[in-house]
Amino acid sequence: MPTSSNDPAAPHRIRIHSPNPAGLSGARREISITVTAVFHPLEGCKQQLSDALATCIPAVHSEQGCQLYATHDAEDETITMIEK
């Protein structure tokens, strides 16, 4: 079941409940989710978008469970964001 929160800044985790190897039900394990987003900024807005995403880096890195948050400005004028 996904966890939920009314706070949009709260970290989101998905918990999977499945039987453990011993056959006992209710065992919990956390899985890692990787989110990849490719942005196609309007002409002339790439730097503004890149700067906005960069300002999020310290806050996202401080979130519990954050393993990675990075952006990449590609030569094709797209910006790719990866969060794990």
What confidence category does residue 3 fall into, taking pLDDT thresholds of 50, 70 and 90? very low
Residue 59 has pLDDT above 50, yes or no: yes
Q: What is the pLDDT of residue 30?
A: 74
Q: Report the C-alpha gap between 47 and 50 in whole angstroms.
A: 5
pLDDT in tens, 17-28: 445 555 555 566
22: Cβ contacts below 8 Å, ≥ 6 apart: none
Q: Report the C-alpha gap between 69 and 50 in whole angstroms.
A: 13
Question: 84, 33 in Cβ contact below 8 A?
Answer: yes
Question: Vertex 6, ends 71 and 11: CA angle to 5°?
Answer: 35
**Architecture in CATH for domain 33-83:** 2-Layer Sandwich (3.30)
Average pLDDT of the chain is 78
What confidence category does residue 2 fall into, taking pLDDT thresholds of 50, 70 and 90? very low
Question: 49, 32 in Cβ contact below 8 A?
Answer: no
Tokens of 7: 């706070």
